């Protein structure tokens, strides 16, 4: 059996790989490990639990809560909220741990379990390993009587606390800005439109009617074309697209052009530098970020640090270096002063605040960065662990890199959550990028 935790918690097909008994064991083991790490002595330990609207979330919430309460942990159920809201509330409530039940941008049948340590921080690998190990050693009997944890409904107050936090983080009035927001029928269906309206924007919310089955279904940040069309139809100044758990945000300008996570980071980095808020003049991104971001930051006198792919690695580098901005091309943007993980709604507010303070359109702001043509192909594979060591794949990569020289780059990596291998090629023109990416994908598919 492989490692249970992936790059972003435990994820899989709900009631198949990710079952209620597994969730109950995970909850119990995580409760024991994380409370021990906190060392709260005789104080009653607590956990914050939230979820996105997908149907299996109800089942998994009940199982996790049962597992945690069986180990003497009081569970504060905050209901349907974005992942960053659960991380924030874990800190705000002074809880020992937090749990978000969501498969993010994955389709409805999937689900996932993400754990946060005290303070709302994602877990280190060694802590996840401890939880996995403890699952095999769970005692048959936990505390009894008054030692059993309670399950408490905190959903009524949780959203307002999160909205107040967002308003304090970005108090700039957004009056006069018309925004289309695609909520992906997901966890932000209330939070994102409310936050933007509270700031003064004119909000046109779409796909804000989750029914437990329609999350991410042809909408949200993985289907940006829907927002492009809506921006044009409504004459909006900006479009924002969130994913199922709203830790991502992608944008569209008034002309319908996509503004991805790299461009968003460029805009926010310049704003923070001007305001003296960009610590050490440094932006943290991943190796997947476009070469154009590095060139733009160099021109602005901003250092770009690169990490492995995954927001957990960006977060780790931000904390280790005490930096103030980081993120991914996919739209995971982290501003540590205001959050411990990517926050799509905070990102949307920050983008619109920059528009309001400068009087510039999103298109003008995004023009600071020229995007090199980049092609990304997700190749379904039987066993992603075999691809990197394949002689055929290594030979194909070497040939591609020789052809591109210094005018582009190649990056192949396994998905952290699915049986896919991602093939990314950057080149000076889109035709070359597509051709080489197609050639490499064909080789990967044959392994």
pLDDT value at residue 207: 98
CA 66 to CA 72: how far, in whole Å?
A: 10
Helix (H) or strand (E) segment spanning residue 10: strand 10-13
Each residue of 128-179: pLDDT tens digit? 999 999 999 888 888 999 999 999 999 989 999 999 999 999 999 999 999 9
Rg (CA), the chain: 22
CATH fold for domain 374-446: TATA-Binding Protein (3.30.310)
Does this chain's domain 170-366 share its CATH topology with 374-446? no
pLDDT value at residue 140: 80
- Catalytic-residue membership of 390: no
Sign of CA dihedral 67, 158, 205, 371: negative
- Section 366-386 average pLDDT: 91
Q: Is the pLDDT of residue 416 over 80?
A: no
Q: Which residue has the tokens 């779409």?
A: 206
CATH fold for domain 170-366: Alpha-D-Glucose-1,6-Bisphosphate; Chain A, domain 3 (3.40.120)
pLDDT band at 2 (very low <50, low <70, confident <90, very high): low
- For domain 10-156, say whether CATH 3.40.120.10 is its number: yes
- Section 199-224 average pLDDT: 97
Each residue of 311-342: pLDDT tens digit? 889 999 999 999 999 999 999 999 999 999 99
**Distances 13 to 102, 245, 283, 381 between C-alpha atoms, Å:** 11, 17, 35, 17
**Distances 415 to 6, 232, 310, 420 between C-alpha atoms, Å:** 9, 34, 10, 5
CA 72 to CA 75: how far, in whole Å?
A: 9
Q: Return the domain boundaries, the chain.
A: 10-156, 170-366, 374-446
Each residue of 29-56: pLDDT tens digit? 999 999 876 555 567 899 999 999 999 9
Q: Is the pLDDT of residue 419 over 90?
A: no
pLDDT value at residue 415: 83
Kindly name the residue from 104, 194, 350, 441 that is annotated as catalytic: 104
* % of residues, the chain, pLDDT over 70: 98
């Amino acid at each position: 059996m492989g490692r249970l935790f992936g790059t972003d918690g435990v994820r899989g097909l709900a009631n198949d790989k990710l079952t209620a008994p597994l969730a109950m064991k995970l909850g119990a083991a995580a409760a024991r490990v994380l409370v021990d790490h906190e060392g709260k002595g005789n104080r009653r330990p607590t956990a914050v639990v939230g979820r996105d609207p997908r149907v299996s979330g109800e089942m998994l919430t009940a199982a996790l809560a049962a597992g945690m309460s069986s180990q003497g942990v009081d569970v504060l159920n905050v209901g349907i909220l974005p992942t960053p809201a659960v991380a924030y509330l874990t800190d705000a409530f002074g809880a020992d741990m937090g749990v978000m039940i969501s498969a993010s941008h994955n389709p409805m049948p999937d689900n996932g379990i993400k754990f946060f340590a005290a303070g709302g921080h994602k877990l280190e690998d060694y802590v996840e390993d401890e939880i996995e190990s403890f699952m095999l050693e769970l005692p048959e009997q936990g505390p009894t009587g008054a030692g059993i944890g309670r399950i408490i409904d905190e959903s009524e107050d949780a959203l307002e606390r999160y909205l107040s936090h967002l308003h304090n983080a970005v108090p700039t009035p957004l009056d006069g800005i018309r925004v289309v927001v695609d909520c992906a029928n997901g966890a932000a269906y209330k939070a994102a439109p409310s936050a933007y309206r509270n700031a003064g924007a004119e909000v046109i919310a779409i796909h804000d009617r989750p029914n437990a089955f329609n999350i991410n279904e042809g909408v949200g940040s993985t289907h940006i074309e829907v927002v492009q069309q809506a921006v044009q139809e409504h004459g909006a100044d900006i479009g924002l697209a969130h994913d199922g758990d709203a830790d991502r945000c992608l944008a569209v300008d008034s002309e319908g052009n996509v503004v991805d996570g790299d461009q968003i980071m460029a805009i926010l980095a310049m704003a923070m530098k001007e305001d003296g808020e960009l610590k050490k003049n440094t932006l943290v991104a991943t190796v997947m970020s476009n070469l154009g971001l590095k060139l733009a930051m160099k021109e602005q006198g901003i250092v770009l640090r690169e990490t492995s792919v995954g927001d957990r690695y960006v977060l780790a580098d931000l904390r280790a270096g005490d930096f103030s901005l980081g993120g991914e091309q996919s739209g995971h943007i982290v501003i540590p002063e205001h959050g411990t993980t990517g926050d799509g709604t905070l990102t949307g507010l920050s983008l619109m605040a920059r528009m309001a303070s400068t009087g510039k359109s999103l298109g003008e702001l995004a023009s600071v960065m020229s995007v090199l043509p980049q092609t990304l192909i997700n190749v379904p594979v039987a066993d992603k662990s075999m691809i990197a060591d394949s002689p055929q794949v290594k030979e194909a990569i070497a040939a591609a890199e020789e052809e591109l020289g210094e005018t582009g780059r190649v990056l192949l990596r396994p998905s952290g959550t699915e049986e896919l291998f991602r093939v990314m090629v950057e080149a000076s023109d889109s035709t070359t990028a597509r051709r080489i990416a197609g050639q490499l994908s064909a080789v990967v598919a044959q392994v």
